[in-house]
Structures are given as structure tokens and as C-alpha cells.
Structure 1
Amino acid sequence: MDREDGESISRLLRAWRGRIDPRTVRELRGVLPRPGRRLSQKHVARMTGVSEGWYRALEAGRRQDFSESFLLRVAEALRLSEAETLTLFLAVCGRRPPERGHAEEDLPRGVKALLEQQVSYPAYLSDVAWNIVASNALMGEWFPWVHRPRPNLMRWALLHPEAREQMLDWEDSCARVYLAMLRVAANSDPGNEELRGLVHEILDADADCRRIWAQEYDVVEHRDGHVFRLRLPYHGNAEIRVTSHVLLPIQRTDLRFVFITPVDGWAGV
């Protein structure tokens, strides 16, 4: 974790700790240091529920098995910004901090505007568990299920009977790909209870999905560029070929911005 250029995480942690006035810390009422003394390692350990030695190891840059929950408590105790919290996580464990839950009204203005202004093709935002966070008007016209309570792409595509009618060549073009995506997501974030529960729910509910899961070992990260065939009531049940495009908003890396475009210049939207 340490670097020789003076910008080690140890130096940053000491600086972040040093800017806090202990008198403003509610948890330290009754144990405040003498006037003029800064927040100590012992105080931060007390605030985060660990031993002084454990916190000292973090600030000294010694590699330990520091949990995400501990690092989040440190970030809260030291009043770190999102950028500072990201720096702490990357320096200590080499990964980003877990994303906090967000409501649709918390979407970055630019991302929401881009979604709403996309009037040529269906577009939507989904989170890491494929919950539909927001969608444009055309997405709702092509796929009315996005307006149902708590819409989830995986549940619809893999469990709902209408998906097998509307997504042609369902097993090879849809089920195998989506299950391969679930396999990547579940292994990339094994502590995500929602993802783990989604996998169990789908496998428990559908025999075809269980068979494919047991037989296949493919892994797919996303459907960007994937071509698939649809037969939707919106198009009079005529067969169409489309491809999906997946973007990751820099302000919300827990979201996928997905839009669907026609293949071969089809423009019958």
C-alpha cells in the first residue's frame, strides 16, 4: 500500500485524520483529548469498533485482511468524500467501494437527460442485479413489462412465458447468454446477496435454466453488440433483428445504460 513518492495511503490517512476537530465528534463526548490535540489513532479505532492496533496497521500501510465494512466505517469516521473513499479502497484492497443504493431521482442529470432524449430507439438503465432503474418511452412501448412493479430483466427474460414467445431462439440466443452473464456477475461479487438470491430464484423456478446452468460453463460479461431476434406486439409480431449497446456512466458505475438499435438499417420504429 505504501509508495515512495510521498503519496502513500499512510500519508493520506494521517492528513485526513488531522483535519478533524475531535470536539465535533459525537462518539468522543466524555473522552475528548486535551484542548489543541488532534484526533488520535485510538479515537478512530474507538469510532470504528476495532482495536487501536488494527487501525494502526491500516494507517501504517501494513497489508491485512481489512473488510469492506471496516473501510466504510473508516471513511465515515474520517468524513471522506466519495473520491477519498475510492482512493482508500483502491489503495488498500485494489477494488472500488460497494455502491450505495440510489433512487431514480438521484440519477445524474446528464444520464437522465440522455435517456429521456433518446426518442429513436428503446433505452433503459439497469443496476448490477439487472433491476430496471429507468427507461425511456419507447422501451415501455416495445416492452411493457418495464412498467410492472420492480421490473428485472433477468426475471422477465428467463422466467416469464412471454419472453419465450418474443425472444426468438430463446434457449440459445437468450437463456444461455443471460445465464452466462449471471455466472460472471455472481462470481465477480460473491458478497452481493441480491445477485446470489436472483441466481437461486431463477434456478429454483425453471427446469430449463437449471439444465443449461449445469451443462454450460460459458461466461459473458455483457450483451454489448449481441444480435438477437424479436417478435413483439408493438411491431405487429413481425420478426425484427436488433442489437444491444451497453454503456457505463462514469458518475454511476453501478448502472448500465443500454439502448437497442435495428440491424441492417431497419428503420421501422
Structure 2
Amino acid sequence: MAVSDSSADRHDAEKEALSSAQHAAQLAGEFMGFGALLRRWRKAAGVTQLRAARALGMGERTYRKIERGATPPRFSRPQCEALAAVFELDRDERHALLLYNVGTSLEPSDAAGHPELRRALRLLMDRQMPSPSYLTDRYWNIIGFNTAMAEWWPWVMEPGANLIRWALTSTEARTQFHDWRKHAAAYVKILKFALATKDNDEELRQLIDDVQKDPDVRHIWETQEELSESRDGHIFRMNVPALGWEPVEVVSHVLYPASMPDCRFVVITWVELPEAAQQQEALDDEGDATASAGGGLEHAQQRARERASEANRRRKAHALTDRLVVDSAEEAARLAGEEGIPLPVLSKLMGPDCQLTLSPSQHSVIWAIEEAPGEWAISQVDAYAVAVRIPRAALIDEARAEMKLLTRAVLPVAPDEAVDRIQQLLPQLEQRIVLLREIWRDLHEQDPSLPYIWEPADEV
């Protein structure tokens, strides 16, 4: 009888253990796994399993197995979208659903449709000062930048500014990049990566067609087979006009904002080692003292001039201030001071939603862009930087007076100093004109079908 009781007790214990295990498994299913996540979303939305199954295009029995933890086939993007609509998922929940099933992020966000996100990122860009920083959409269109970026590379302020087009097709980029072909190849790799991941994108294909109109770019495209997602961490050696055309080494840092994952947030920083630079400067000072004591005064003076030039370059870069945003075009114009001069013709030539105001005393232009209704982003740039952005304006009668004002602002304020500067510039410019005419004549001799330019001597 005792054996029978022991057997019964053991049976009851095993039954209780099995029940506990089933209960634990049920509890685990409530809180773990994709199936449990679906069940929680469905119950929160008050949706039946039948309705969820129909949204996915499958039977109710199959869907019930998925919720119980059976390994499901990965849902397609259309299935995810249908289920997200039925469950009324928010952005983060929909993101999780897509990542689990499709293995990718949300569909690209519309930057223009989310001004509050762009404003938040603009604040972050401004905090990068004095490092240049900018924001692009998935097609590398510039949709935001800080003052340093505008000062170093004014092309970002032009309507329709696009990083890839500028880097691959502009004369300016070929002048500023050291070894332009190397950089062009890097941008081609980026385009090929984008094409491999979204080959049916019409806007991307149009961008590729546009840059391939340049024969050098087309040759690189045809000979370059590698892919690259971004230029994160790449070191550039460039000559920047705002820094007196002196060479500078910078590195690009590419980030993807979580709120706008299709956009690129880029910060440009200098490549420099402060301690090593200080040690080198100390060695230079010691060497200069030795050279001076040994009669090498000219060498010492040359080194001093070089260091002064480097210090001036750094002062220019770090003197940049935070970018402003004002509420109206009138408020933007007032930033040029009481002597500010509006430049309506040049503003129109520069593009829509753009207002230029000359500040003669500061030799600069207040460049305002209406980024959103009631939001005018302000950059203060050198007058010369504006003049070179629209060289065709010098040929337009209506713009001639405003171009004359810009040119005068580039010269020293004192009339005698301005005349001295003009006397220095005119021979240089006249010689460049002579050289250009000679090159044109040489090209005409090589190919008579080319138009021939008249020369003043021809009329004599």
C-alpha cells in the first residue's frame, strides 16, 4: 500500500511539474519572440486573428501558429505595410516590424515634409562650429549647412546645390581638390553603390546620367568597378578660397540621423596634431634663432612669415560665428547695417527664395535663404565669393551696377589704397586676357570650324 501511495505522489509531482513547465512556456510566449510581439500589437488594436491573417494573405490557422511561436516565413514589405495599417502601429513599431522581416529600415523620409526635424538638425550643425557641416538628402541635394560650410564652400547656398554634381562636374571642385581624379573615383563608387541598392530609382538614374555627360567622369565610370557606401573617414587635401587658397587637410565624418535615416549628416574637421604642432613650432623657433645667430636672417624672416600666414589661416577659420535664423527678409537685410545696400537683381539671378544685401563697411554680403515659411537662414560671406558665383551677371546690363558695387567692396576702403590695388590687378587681368585670346587663336588654327575671336589689333 505504501508503494502505491508513493507512485501516486510521484505521478502527481510529475503532473504538477509538467503543468508548471507549460505555464512557464506560456508566460515566455507572452513576453518573448516575434509571435508574442504580434499578439501584443493585435490585442492592443482590438483585432481578431482572422482579420490579421487576411491582411497578410494567409489562413487563420497559419497565422495562429506564428503567434504561438512557430517560425514564420519572413513577411514581405507589402505584408508588413498591410499589417502595420491594421494594427495601427506607430513609427517605431513599424520600424521594428520592417527590420525583423525585410531586414531594412523605413522607407526614405521626406525631408521637406518634416521641417521640425530639419530645424533640430540645423541646431546640431550650428554646434559644430567652426567645423563645416552640412545635411544632404538621399540624392546628395544640400538641405542644410552651417556658416563655416557656407564660408568655405559658397556653392552650397545655390538653389539646387548637389554634392555629387559639384564634385564631379564643376571646375571649382577640380581646382580645389588635390588629385581630383582620385576623389572623382570615390564619388563614382558611391553612385555605383546607390545604383546597386535601388536601380529602379529615376532620380538617381537622372543624376548618374547628368554627371556622365562629362567625358572624364564617364571614363571613370566605365573603368571603375568597386562600390563604396560613403566617404566616412576619408582625408581630403584641398585649397579653400576662404583660407587664402592655402592647402588644408580635412577629414569627413558621415552620420545617418535616426529621425531621417535616408539623409547624411556630414562634419568636416581638420587633420592636425596640436602637441606635435607645438613641438614642431618650438623646434622651428630654435632653428630660426640659430640661423639668425649664424647670419641666416633672411631664412628666419621667411619662416616667421610662413608661421604668420598659418596663424592667419587658423584665425579666419575660427572667427566664424554661429549661423543665424531670422523671421523675415527685412530682418535679414538689417543685419547688413544702416549702410546696407540691397542687391535685388543679383538675388534673382542667384535663385528663388534668396536675398543678398551688401555691407560695404564689412566688405561682405548678408546671404539669406528662406528655408521654410518665416525662417530665413543667414550666412555672411565675402563680397568676392558672391561675385564669382554668378560671373555671367557682369554681362547683363541690369546687373552691372550691382556687380560694380560688389567689386568696389572687394577693394580697400581708402581711395588711394583702392587705386593702388587696381593698379596691381589690371596688368595681371590684362595679361590673362591676352593669354586667353592666344589660346583661342591656337585652337582655331587647329580646328578652323571653331569660331574665331576678334582682337583689338584686327581693327587697326
Both structures adopt the same fold (TM-score exceeding 0.5): yes
> Which deviations, in whole Å up to 9, do the C-alpha atoms of 1:3-59 show, x marking residues without a partner?
x952333332233223235xxxxxxxxxxxxxxxxx33554577x6x7454996698
Q: Deviations over 1:192-245 (max 9, x none)?
A: 443343223322x22212211111222222222222222233223333222212
Equivalent of residue 242 in structure 2, options 213, 234, 252: 234
- The answer to whether the 8 Å contact 2:76/2:101 transfers is no
Give the equivalent residue in structure 2 for 1:261: 269
Number of equivalent positions: 244
2: distance between equivalents of 1:75 and 1:58?
18
Partner residue in 1 for 2:251? 243
- How far apart, CA to CA, are the structure 1 residues paired with 2:65 and 2:175? 57
Residue 137 (1) aligns with residue 162 (2) = no
Q: Deviations over 1:40-87 (max 9, x none)?
A: 3554577x6x745499669835315x4424422322232111221122
1:185 aligns with 2:210: no
TM-score normalised according to structure 1 size: 0.77
Q: CA deviation at 1:108?
A: 6.4
Q: Tell me, which stretches of 5 or more residues in structure 2 are unaligned? A: 1-25, 274-309, 318-460
What is the CA–CA distance in structure 2 between the aligned matches of 1:62 and 1:264, rounded to whole Å?
A: 53
**1:9·1:59 contact (CA, 8 Å) conserved in 2?**
no
Counterpart-to-counterpart distance in 1, 2:53 and 2:109:
24
For residue 131 of structure 2, what is the aligned residue in structure 1? 121
Q: 1:93 to 1:160 in 2, by over 3 A?
A: same
Contact 1:241 / 1:262 at 8 angstroms: preserved in 2?
yes
Gap runs ≥5 in structure 1: 22-38
Counterpart in the other structure of 1:165: 175
Task: State whether structure 2 residue 232 is matched by structure 1 residue 224.
Answer: yes
CA 1:155 to 1:54, structure 2 compared with 1: closer, same or farther past 3 Å? farther
Q: Which is higher, the Rg of structure 1 or of structure 2?
A: 2
Q: 1:13 aligns with which of 30, 38, 45?
A: 38
Q: Which amino acid aligns with 1:194?
A: E
C-alpha separation between the residues in 1 aligned to 2:177 and 2:64? Answer: 51
Q: Indicate which of 64, 81, 86 corresponds to 1:72.
A: 81
* Cα displacement (A) at 1:132: 1.5
Change (3 A) 1:18 1:197: farther
DSSP-derived class of the 2:236 partner: strand
Does the 8 Å CA contact 1:245/1:258 hold for their aligned counterparts?
yes
Q: TM-score scaled to structure 2, two decimals?
A: 0.47
Q: Given residue 135 of structure 1, which amino acid in structure 2 is its aligned partner?
A: F
Q: CA deviation at 1:141?
A: 1.4
**Cα 1:108–1:146 shift into 2, 3 Å:** closer
The answer on 1:96 being equivalent to 2:93 is no
Flag the 1:56–1:165 CA change in 2: closer, same or farther, 3 A: farther
Q: What's the CA shift string for 1:111-138, capped at 9, x where partnerless?
A: 3322122221211112232122210011
Tell whether the 8 Å contact from 1:224 to 1:245 is kept in structure 2 after alignment: yes
| Conserved? CA contact 1:128–1:254, under 8 Å | yes
Going by fraction, where is helix more abundant, 1 or 2?
A: 2
Residue 175 and residue 78 in structure 1: after superposition, are their counterparts in 2 closer, same or farther (change >3 A)? Answer: same
What is the identity, as a one-letter code, of the residue corresponding to 1:241?
E
Secondary structure of 2:267's counterpart equals: strand
User: What percentage of aligned pairs have identical amino acids?
Assistant: 35
Cα root mean square deviation, aligned: 3.0
Whether 2:92 is the aligned partner of 1:83: answer: yes
Instruction: Tell me the distance in 2 between the aligned counterparts of 1:206 and 1:252.
Output: 32
Counterpart CA distance in 1 for 2:186 and 2:142 is 18
Indicate the residue corresponding to 1:24 in structure 2: none
**How far apart, CA to CA, are the structure 1 residues paired with 2:267 and 2:60?**
47
Residue 149 of structure 1 is matched in structure 2 by 159
CA distance in 1, matches of 2:101, 2:252: 36
Deviation of 1:90 after TM superposition, in Å, equals 1.9
The structure-2 alpha-carbon separation of the partners of 1:17 and 1:167, relative to structure 1 and needing over 3 Å to count, comes to same
**Partner SS, residue 107 of structure 1:** helix
